[in-house]
Each structure stands twice: as structure tokens, then as C-alpha cells.
Amino acid sequence: MNINTKESTDTTDNGTHPREIFSKFTATMWQVVDELLFLEECHKKRRPGAPVYTTPSTFYLAGKCGCTRFTISRATEALVALGVLHKQFRRAIHGNFQTCLYRISNKYRWRINRVKQAISSVTSRVRLSAHKQAKAIKTTVNTVADAPKRTQPPPEWRRLLEKLRGGS
């Protein structure tokens, strides 16, 4: 029996390594996953022990990600195709569509969090004291002088008024 035939634990069900899957992510896909993970954490805090899922609308996700709802729809469909996201369409009793039910796959959750932590550790290289103000800044109040008041209308108005009255 060959030991090398044992499958690696880092491969998914379809045999694709998570790095290959993450390399296919676009910026919008990362933003959608980040927002859905945040909403799932909020859901966990509000309802401990309940199943973890989120139900944001495409308009909400588009506003958070700064793109259109059609881009969000394409990104979620691509995430479903990669196996990272579970998406369930819901209908109301009267046949009206409701928001979809989203859940990040447990298989990728911790890997996504590790990637997010690695990115944030590289991008946040500002010292904590960099934003602190060393000394108070003196501010002065600028006042604008009032416009001079006119007692009589301009001479052009008199000529126009005379023309309108029929005088020359």
C-alpha cells in the first residue's frame, strides 16, 4: 500500500487547493465575503446557539461595497460556484421574492479570516501615536463684514422702470 495516495487535508471536495480558489477572488468578492462574515458574527452575538446565516439585500451589499446590485449578484454567484458561499433563494407566501439566505462555508471560514488578518497586519503599519495631536492648535474666528445697504436702486433700474411704464 502506497502512503502517497492519501489525499491531503488542505484540498476541498473537488480537489482544488484553497489558494487556487482564493486566487480567483475579485475585489468585490472579498468585500462581499468580508461583509457577510461581519453580519454572521453580529448574528452569532445576538442569537447564541442559533444557526448562523445572514439575509442582507443586494442593495445593502451594493451600498457597503460601492458597486451595483448586479455586480453583487455576479459576485455571489461566483462564490457559490467556487463553493465558498451557500445561497438559498426565498419566496414569500404571496410569491414575492425576499432577500436570499447566505452562509459562508465552514470549510473556508477560518482560511478567509487568516487571509484577512494577514492583509490587515501588512496594511496597518501606522503607529498608534501617529494620529494624536501633540499640542493644541489655536483657531481664530473669521468674521465677514456686512454688505453696505443701499438707500436707492441703481440708475439702470430707473431706466428699465421708465421703459416698462411706457416713458422714454
CATH classification of the domain holding 23: 1.10.10.10
Contact 36, 56 (CB under 8 A): yes
Report the percent of the chain where pLDDT is more than 70: 69
Q: Is it the case that residue 161 has pLDDT exceeding 50?
A: yes
**Cell, residue 103:** 452562509
- The residues pairing with 104 across neighbouring beta strands, listed in sequence order, are 85
Give domain status of residue 150, yes or no.
no
Give domain status of residue 155, yes or no.
no
More confident residue, 14 or 116: 116
Cα–Cα nearest to 84, from 1, 156, 16: 16
Q: Is it the case that residue 9 has pLDDT exceeding 50?
A: no
Give domain status of residue 40, yes or no.
yes
- Residue 10 is predicted with a pLDDT of 43
If one counts the domains in the chain, the total is 1
Give domain status of residue 72, yes or no.
yes
More confident residue, 46 or 97: 46
Phi and psi at 86, nearest 5°, equal -105, 125
- Residue 78 is predicted with a pLDDT of 92
**Residue 48: which domain range?**
12-120
Give per-residue burial for 80-89: e unless 16+ CB within 10 Å, then b: eebebbeeee
- Residue 96 is predicted with a pLDDT of 73
- Residue 113 is predicted with a pLDDT of 75
Over residues 119-135, the pLDDT tens digits come to: 666 655 555 555 555 66
Q: Is it the case that residue 2 has pLDDT exceeding 50?
A: no
pLDDT class of 136 with cuts at 50, 70, 90: low
Give domain status of residue 160, yes or no.
no
Give domain status of residue 163, yes or no.
no
pLDDT class of 7 with cuts at 50, 70, 90: very low
Give domain status of residue 168, yes or no.
no
pLDDT class of 3 with cuts at 50, 70, 90: very low
- Residue 74 is predicted with a pLDDT of 92
Give domain status of residue 24, yes or no.
yes
